[in-house]
Amino acid sequence: MANELKFHDLSARHYGVTESISGAYAEAACVCLDRHHAPDVDFAVEDTGKSSIAKASWASPVDARVLSAWNNVTDTTENGAYGLALAAVECSRGLVAIRRAETLTGADYYVNTPDAPVDDLEASFRLEVSGMESGDETAIKARLRQKIAQTEKGKSNLPALACVVAFHALKICTAEAA
């Protein structure tokens, strides 16, 4: 049985994601998924050498108002990727977003276990997220290498994860920076 990518209600489990942001990420992810697929789909989830399958579910077709609100492909892909990446690291590693990362840290979020103190980042990971509307395995791996390099240049001594969400390919790849 496949795991579930719980991207619709992130705010219920991720301290660093409010209800409004959670809803926006879910809407964007649904638009991205609806461009290429019908519900429900299985994502191949790779995390530092471990592979699994995780199911993504959404109501399709996305209505005209939502499509109008998310008419910018770049913004939609980026925001949809945040939602699915957070759901993926929760599913594969049991980590949740505790805070949005500052500019120049080389990452988008700080993630940790659900019981970790939200005001102490010392045991957290930085999470860098990237979304791809399309691309083959070679492009996905190249983007993952770029994102790992970005985390390594960030102004932070915390360990980092990079995550690439490829909507058309139905693949989510996560790797730890060296």
pLDDT tens, residue by residue, 50-109: 999 999 999 999 999 999 999 999 999 999 999 999 999 999 999 999 999 999 999 999
The DSSP element (H or E) to which 126 belongs, if any, is strand 125-132
Distance CA 134, CA 79 (A): 15
Structural domains in the chain (count): 1
- Over residues 129-164, the pLDDT tens digits come to 999 999 999 999 999 999 999 999 999 999 999 999
Residue 116 domain boundaries:
3-176
Query: Closest Cα to residue 149, out of 168, 130, 134?
Result: 130
Cβ-contact 106, 156 below 8 angstroms: yes
CA–CA separation, 19 vs 139, rounded Å? 33
> What residues contact residue 61 under an 8 Å CB cut-off, 6+ apart?
34
Residue pLDDT, tens place only, 13-59 = 999 999 999 999 999 999 999 999 999 999 999 999 899 999 999 99
Backbone angles phi, psi at 64, to 5 degrees: -60, -35
With vertex at residue 25, the alpha carbon angle to CA 141 and CA 117, rounded to the nearest 5 degrees, is 90
Determine the pLDDT at residue 173. 98
